[in-house]
Amino acid sequence: MANIINRDPFEDLLRGFFVRPVEVGNLQAEAPQVKVDVKEDNDAYQVHAELPGIRKEDIHVNIDGPVVSISAERKQEKEVKEGERVLRTERYFGKVSRSFQLGQDIDEGRATAKFNEGVLELTLPKKAAAQAKRLTID
């Protein structure tokens, strides 16, 4: 009579994972793209940008007419305790940026920014459109 052995492949996988060290090549995480939502009303644009894991001190916003540029840097704190070794690192550390053009110039003097729970919220008031002026010829 044949012996039947009931094996759980998941258990075998875990046993193999924890018994021998995982050798990972030089993993280089790709720079993530800053994801934004842009809304518009009659007076302003509202921009929400996802910047998880970044401190507000490391975020910079530049406005040049209708062009908005957001740049940020996620810094890596290397804290490896004695007797510990890193087997895998997939999180991205470094600089990210995103620029986009809106339909109208921004009044940068009235623009505001808030950063809460990894989301940058920009309120970008539209600049009043310059009225065409008709010149009288003397």
Q: What is the pTM of this model?
A: 0.67
**pLDDT, position 8:** 62
Determine the number of helices (DSSP H) and then strands (DSSP E) in the chain. 1, 7
Average pLDDT, the chain: 81
CA-nearest of 71, 66, 72 to 40 is: 66
Question: Could you tell me the two tokens for 130?
Answer: 């310059």
**pLDDT, position 81:** 76
What percent of the chain is modeled with pLDDT above 90?
47
Averaged over 85-93, what is the pLDDT?
Answer: 77
**pLDDT, position 14:** 52
**pLDDT, position 23:** 47
**pLDDT, position 107:** 94
CATH code of the region 31-77+92-128 = 2.60.40.790
What is the rounded CA–CA span in Å between residue 114 and residue 47? 11
- The 10s digit of each residue's pLDDT in 20-43 is 444 445 555 566 788 999 999 999
What is the rounded CA–CA span in Å between residue 92 and residue 98? 16
Contacts of 38 (CB under 8 A, 6+ apart): 45, 46, 47, 100, 102
Contacts of 106 (CB under 8 A, 6+ apart): 45, 63, 65, 66, 68, 124, 125, 126, 127
**pLDDT, position 19:** 46
Question: Could you tell me the two tokens for 32?
Answer: 């993530």
Averaged over 120-135, what is the pLDDT?
Answer: 86
- The 10s digit of each residue's pLDDT in 57-84 is 999 999 999 999 999 998 877 777 788 8
CB 109 within 8 A of CB 44: no
Question: Could you tell me the two tokens for 52?
Answer: 């998880």
**pLDDT, position 76:** 76
